[in-house]
Amino acid sequence: MTADAPPSDPALIAELTALGEALAARDDHADLAARLEWLIDLLILRGTLPASFRRLAAKVKGTGERSVVRLATFRDKHAIPSADIDCAARIPLCGGRCCSFDVTLSAQDLADHLPFDITQPYALPRTDGRCVCMDADGACTVYANRPGACRAYDCRTDPRVWIDFDARIPTPR
């Protein structure tokens, strides 16, 4: 993946350019403009669009009020230290409930091809209330590339998880 990779599909370029021009001319386009912006970001990160396309996103953003789209801003998630917690031994108690909490993805996560739901930009997708990256045994299937929020999270003082971490007493669900 390179940020300035040449466009791979001229039809896509033409479609996005036309969409951008149309949106820039409207004043009631905030939600669509935000969607276009993250779509362009995603395609740039995946090497499908050249980085110059950010100018189109900026032009579209120039009018109207933007929707709120969350995006984590960790510079390098791999530099984030994780708490030293014996998760494997505790999962029968906690049920791995940290992996049912909201997680916001970063640009680095998109570059790592973590799951992405086009209808919920930058929210780590969940199914049945659990992260889609969690396997049936409660293990993280993307552990080496897990998001920064997962790395930074520390359940030890989180009352949603533990009544008493040291005494191994989980909070009732």
Point out which residues bind ligand SF4 (CB under 6 A): 85, 87, 90-91, 94, 96-99, 103, 131, 133-134, 140, 142, 146-147, 150, 155, 161
Given the complex with ligand SF4, which of 57 and 103 has the nearer CB atom? 103
- CA–CA distance from 105 to each of 38, 73, 77, 122, 163 (Å)? 12, 8, 11, 5, 29
State the sign of the Cα–Cα–Cα–Cα dihedral 146, 152, 157, 160.
negative
Considering the complex, state which of residue 1 and residue 93 has its C-beta at the smaller distance from ligand SF4. 93
Q: Cβ(160)–Cβ(170) under 8 Å?
A: no
Min separation Cβ 37 and ligand SF4, Å: 24
Residue closer to ligand SF4 by CB (options 64, 147) is 147
CB of 8 to ligand SF4, least distance (A): 29
Give least dist CB 1 to ligand SF4, A. 20
Q: Is residue 123 classed exposed, middle or buried when 0-12, 13-18 and 19+ CB atoms within 10 A define those classes? A: middle
